[in-house]
Amino acid sequence: MKYLREKALTPPLQLYGLDRHFPHASGSVRKGFLRWEDTVRPTPLSREYFIRLIYKLGSQPEVFVLEPSLKVLAGGRTIPHLYSQEKEKLCLYMPKYREWLPCDQLATTIVPWIFSWLFYFEEWLASDEWKGGGEHPRSENEKGDDRRRNLPENDHVQI
C-alpha cells in the first residue's frame, strides 16, 4: 500500500501564510530563501523582541532573536535551548521526532513556538529553571565526546 505524502510548502507559500496571520510583519523570498521579521511580545507584560525567521525548502527553519541581546539579558549565564549561544539561534523543537515538517505552516507552528520559547525564557531569567520542557541541544564539545565513544550524535540541526 502506498502512503500519500503531504506536499512541502514552498517559501512563497509559507510567506503568504505568514502575511495572512501577521500582516504587520515584513518578509521576502529571494533566491529560494524566505526571510521574515517581526517584533513580538510573548505576553502583554513582556518586553518586545525583534526576531528573524529564515527558511529554505529542504532545510529546517532557523529563528534568531536580533534585539534585545539574549546574552545581555541572561547576565552571563548559559541560555538553555539555543542551538548557538553566539548567534542566539532558538531551539524550538526536535527535528529527530519530526515535530515540524515542510508541509507544516510556519505561521501556525514555528511562530507560536517562538512566543512559547520567549515566555519560558523570561520565566528562566527570573527562576534560573527552564520550565518549557524539551531536550537541550548539546554543545560541540559534548558531540566530540560522543564520537570518541561511538555513541549516536544528537539530531539537532547545527549552524
- Judging by beta carbons within 10 Å of its beta carbon (0-12, 13-18, 19+), is residue 55 exposed, middle or buried? buried
Mean of pLDDT values over 93-107:
89
- Whether the pLDDT of residue 13 is over 60: the answer is yes
The helix (run of H) or strand (run of E) holding residue 19 is: helix 11-21
**Does the residue 60 lie in any domain?**
yes
* Residue 2 resides in a domain: no
Predicted TM-score (pTM) of this structure: 0.82
| Tens of pLDDT, residues 30-49 | 999 999 999 999 999 999 99
- Judge whether residue 80 has pLDDT over 70: yes
The residue-averaged pLDDT of 50-78 equals 96
pLDDT band for 94, please (50, 70, 90 cuts). Answer: confident
Q: How many domains does the chain have?
A: 1
Residue numbers of the domain that contains 142: 11-148
Residue 4 lies in a domain: no
- The answer to whether position 158 is within a domain reads no
